Amino acid sequence: MTIEIKDVCKSFDGQQVLNNFNLNIESEHSYVITGPSGCGKTTLLRLILGLDECDSGSVKLLGDYKYPFINCGMVFQEDRLCEDYDAVTNVTMVSKKVFKETVIEELKKLLPEEALFKPVKELSGGQKRRVSIVRACAIPSDILIMDEPFTGLDEEARKTAIAYIRDKQGSGPLVITTHDTTGLEFGRIIDLGIAT
């Protein structure tokens, strides 16, 4: 699978955030999008996902693909969790094919056991991020896209989360945006502050 991002331009209120940006996102590869705030990291992800449209250029799925869409495991910049439900419920609700027992085992890889059945509104910001990561990885996907997934994580939790994501990546591509590329040297580092 290849997602071709070709000559993409995008502006907001007259401010250009992406200028003739090009990238091919390919299976079995990892991409780390970095750069200062406002350089277009989240915008790029929204264009890939089809949530926004390019001003010019194109984002296309290349190759002999059976469907006009792809399945994506997604961590948004905001947690987008159901605050009144516990961590286990937040993950199991993504699909009828996701079983509670499996989710409990997966969450325990990133969270203390006592955090699993509290309403997520009672969890710390870092714990919520880890629930979002497990949720994104809970079902098989064609691509994993994660917008600042390590916000609020200390060094040890970050290392554990990176290892977890890599284990769950499979053969599909992984795209991560982050200000801090520590521990992500396995991916192709793309600095939007330089690239656009």
Whether 147 contacts 45, CB under 8 Å: yes
Task: State the Cα–Cα distance between residues 98 and 74, nearest whole angstrom.
Answer: 16
pLDDT at position 170, please? 86
Task: Evaluate if residue 167 carries a pLDDT over 50.
Answer: yes
70-98: per-residue pLDDT in tens? 789 999 999 999 999 999 999 999 988 89
Q: Are 4 and 48 in contact (CB under 8 A)?
A: no
Give the model's pLDDT for residue 196: 44
Summarize the confidence of residues 112-141 as an average pLDDT: 95
As a whole number of angstroms, the distance between CA 145 and CA 74 comes to 5
In whole angstroms, give the CA distance from residue 67 to residue 2: 14
Average pLDDT over all residues of the chain? 92
